[in-house]
Amino acid sequence: MALRPRRTFRQRRADSSDSDGAQEPSAEPGAAGERAAPGPAEEGLPSGGGRAAAAERPRWARSGARGRGRVWASSRPAARAAARGRGGSGGAESRAVDLPTDKEDGTHHSSESKDDQSSFSSGSSSLEEEEVSSVVNIPDAAFIRAAYRTRKLARAQEDYISLDVKHVSLISGTKKNSEDSESEPDDHEKIIPFIPKLQTLRQRMAEETTTKNEETSEESQEDTNQDIWEQQQMRKAVKITEGRDIDLSHSSDSQTVKKFDASISFPPVNLEIIKKQLNTRLALLQDTHRSHLREYEKYIQDIKSSKSTIQNLENSSDQALNIKFYKNMKIYVENLIDCLSEKIISIQEVESAMHALLVKQAMIFMKRRQDELKHESTYLQQLLREAETSTNRSLAVDEKTQWSFEEIESRRARRRQARALSGNCTHQEGTSSDDELPSADMTDFQKSRGDILQDRKKIFEDVHDDFCNIQNILLKFQQWREKFPDSYYEAFVSLCIPKLLNPLIRFQLIDWNPLKFDSIGLKQMLWFTSIGEFMESSMKDAGKEDSSDRKILSAVINKIVIPRLTDFVEFIWDPLSTSQTRSLITQCRTILEEHSTCENEVSKGKQDILKSIGSRMKKSIEDDVFIPLYPKSAVENRASPHSKFQERQFWSGLKLFHNVLLWNGLLPEGTLRELGLGKLLNRYLVTALLNATPGPEVVKKCSQIAAYLPEEWFKNSTMRASIPQLENFIQFLLQLAQKLSRSAIRDEVKEIILILVKIKALNQAESFIEEHNLDHLKSVIKEV
């Protein structure tokens, strides 16, 4: 294996002549910084031409060669051969041997590296001694273009892949020789290093020294540039005297200053001329100032005049007053709507809670009454079956039924005691409403009701009176009606007021219970009186007698009060309770009669509530009326439980009959006759009377039935026959009178004749008197 020859550092002389450039086109300017390894013949002192080239080599080329080390030395062997074309054939041979040595021999790496370093240090020292300070001649453009074209042609000719491996290696080596520092190899020709090559300690130290030198030079260059930039900025900031020509070159000797020409003459100047010019200038400024003062005063006057005009228009103009009023009214109504829209949710919640509480209490009473009736009836039926079978063993009663009987008797005892204290001795068993609650349940009810009312108070506690007081709200609209009646009626305010007052009226009706006898009437409510005063003030206007404001109260009742009253009728009202029925009738008369100023407005609401009342009474007749029929042997004894139970149920049915007929004048007459006479009297009461034993008690019951019948039905003086629905009752009276006339109790017959006369059954009464020769009773008929 051939040994690597020692290398020296040479630089090609850059001649300025075109002939030298033409003779050596392959020697490029970029190769001046490359190192060339000499052959064996040149191992000693370099030749004269080589020394001259080394002398002309610049310092930066030398430092760059040292920095690259061994990697740089083995990268371009062909370029070194081209640079030393005149050195002889020995050098070319050594280089030809050097190329395969780098690729094949890896064992002599460290020894060769040492030889290279020793050669490098000796060559560097010799070059430093022989170096002469000189200016490098840069080749011209023609020379560079010729070299570039030659290199391009050489690449184009060898751009193929040979099948001969050796030839390919030679071609690739030739390509590497043709490269220079300006052009990089193609991508497919680059050797990609996957790991960094190993370097000796000396090479790494040299590389670090080169990097530090480069950084130092860059920092010094930046400092120089900074100084130049600061000088330029300072020159721009300083005013340059006119006539001075500043040379921007680095030499200060090139700067030339234009001197003042004394030959130029100026006009003569004296104190008078200066004074005259100043006076003129002062006069102009004073005139300008005076004109500005006049304009300022004019603007001040215009501003004052404009403000005065605006104030006068606001104070005296009707149009401005109208706009101001309408604007304030618009803002007020918007705020009112926003307030009520926010509070309506809370109002609905409290209203629903109160309604649910009352419904719950009503359902408790209704369920208790039906359960007690069922238990007692079942127990009596069992007693009756035991009596029929003639068994003497006692009837077993379950614990629940026994507790129910005890509870019923305790409530009845308390009611008897209360009636005795009040002096009511005419009360009949079975006519009580039985709406007492245990003390614990009553306490819970009162607590829940108090909590709801407390929540009710909190709804409007943060609202001003102008937005929650109905009287103040109506006062705003009354002012509008008095000031601008045309726009008030054109805006149909009367149709909007009921909708605006809806939440506030519902708020006041939360604690209103029309079924309680001590509940406040509608006439005494604040919203009712406020709306009434608003309507009266509207009717005082002679030109608006038929104004739409008269319909406000009817609209409020139709839209707010009647729906709430309907809920009470459907879910809370107990038709068996006389007190609830009387209170409800009072409220309904107030709503449907006294304040039905416009029939069209209340007709639909009136029909709805009356329909609800009729449906509720019909349901009560079907569910709550139960009069059992027992054998005469079971009821002959007035103290027997069967007789007592039958009596209580009869009087309970008679009480419902009375409550139904109390609606006379409100409900249609046909509805009352169908419910009271057709369904209740003929189906239940007359049937129970037919099963009873004739006597004073039966006559008393018949007298009570006749007393409950409305007198309006029998006011016709020409009437000789009663109404058709009473035919069964009249026949029962005639049978009862006939039985009593045969017995010892004949005084009761006169009472029966009086009942027939009251219900206008005059023909039947006369026939009975003539048939039984009761001439002393004819006077009774004549009195009618």
353-375 residue pLDDT tens: 999 999 999 998 888 888 888 88
Angle at 546 between CA 544 and CA 551, to 5 degrees: 115
Q: What is the pLDDT, as a whole number, of residue 194?
A: 60
Q: Is the pLDDT of residue 470 over 90?
A: yes
Instruction: Report pLDDT for 154.
Output: 76
Which residues lie across from 244 on neighbouring strands? 257
Structure-model confidence comparison of residues 580 and 209, the more confident one = 580
pLDDT over 90 for what percent of the chain? 30
Mean pLDDT of 297-301: 95
The whole-number pLDDT of residue 233 equals 79
pLDDT (mean) for 422-449: 76
Quick one: average pLDDT of 727-756?
Answer: 85
What pLDDT sits at residue 240?
53
399 confidence band (pLDDT: 50, 70, 90): low
Listing DSSP states for 269-314 in one string gives --HHHHHHHHHHHHHHHHHHHHHHHHHHHHHHHHHHHHHHHHHHHH
Q: Which of 35, 37, 41 is nearest to 90 (CA)?
A: 41
Structure confidence at residue 140 as a pLDDT band (50, 70, 90): confident
**196-205, 616-625, 636-645: which is most confident:** 616-625
For residue 560, pLDDT beyond 80: yes
Of 762, 734, 766, 727, which Cα lies nearest the Cα of 749? 734
Q: Is the pLDDT of residue 32 over 50?
A: no
More confident residue, 633 or 651: 651
Least confident of 14-28, 345-359, 694-708, 717-731: 14-28
pLDDT confidence of residue 63:
38
d(CA 25, CA 640) in angstroms, rounded, equals 151
Contact 210, 66 (CB under 8 A): yes
Give the number of residues written for the chain: 784
547-570: average pLDDT: 89
**pLDDT for 656:** 93
Q: Which of 160-164, 309-313, 322-326, 467-471 has the lowest mean pLDDT?
A: 160-164
Lowest mean pLDDT among 120-129, 534-543, 647-656: 120-129
Provide the pLDDT for residue 612: 93
Tokens coding 249 = 């070159």
- pTM of the shown model: 0.58
Q: In this predicted structure, what is the pLDDT of residue 425? A: 61
Mean pLDDT of the chain: 74
Per-residue pLDDT reduced to its tens digit, 258-289: 555 556 676 777 888 899 999 999 999 999 99
> Looking at the predicted structure, is the pLDDT value of residue 253 above 70?
no
pLDDT top residue among 204 and 559: 559
Question: What pLDDT does residue 454 have?
Answer: 94
> What number is the average pLDDT over the span 648-657?
92
What Å distances lie between residue 636 and 384, 648, 691, 692, 741, CA to CA? 14, 15, 11, 9, 21
- pLDDT beyond 70 at 164: no
Q: Is the pLDDT of residue 18 over 90?
A: no
Whether 390 has a pLDDT exceeding 80, the answer reads: no
Q: What are the CA-CA distances from residue 502 to residues 336, 347, 456, 571, 651 (Å)?
A: 12, 11, 16, 22, 43
Model confidence at 541, pLDDT cuts 50, 70, 90, reads low
Phi-psi region of 88 (alpha: psi -120 to 50; beta: other; left: phi over 0): left
pLDDT(107) > 60: no
User: What is the average per-residue pLDDT within 373-378?
Assistant: 84
Return the higher-pLDDT residue of 190 and 466. 466
DSSP one-letter string for 194-233: SSPPP--HHHHHHHHHHHHHHHHHHHHHHHHHHHHHHHHH
Q: Quick one: which of 364, 363, 375, 367 has its CA closest to 645? A: 375
Distance CA 528, CA 497 (A): 13
Of 3-17, 191-205, 403-417, 604-618, the poorest mean pLDDT is in 3-17
- For 288-297, what is each residue's pLDDT tens digit? 999 999 999 9
What's the confidence (pLDDT) of residue 109? 40
Measure Cα distances from 525 to 115, 211, 354, 508, 681 in Å: 125, 103, 19, 8, 39
Q: Mean pLDDT, to the nearest integer, of 542-548?
A: 58
Asked whether the predicted pLDDT for residue 509 surpasses 80, the reply is: yes
| Model pLDDT, residue 530 | 93
- CA distances to 69, 96, 105, 118, 293 from 109, in Å: 13, 18, 8, 14, 101
**For position 512, what pLDDT does the model report?**
92
Between residues 601 and 222, which one has the greater pLDDT?
222
Cα–Cα distance measured from residue 31 to residue 51, given in angstroms and rounded to the nearest whole number:
17
The tokens describing 781, both together, are 């008929």
DSSP class of 667? B
Q: Give the separation between CA 77 and CA 170, rounded to whole angstroms.
A: 12
Residue 368 exposure: Cα atoms within 13 Å on the Cβ side: 18
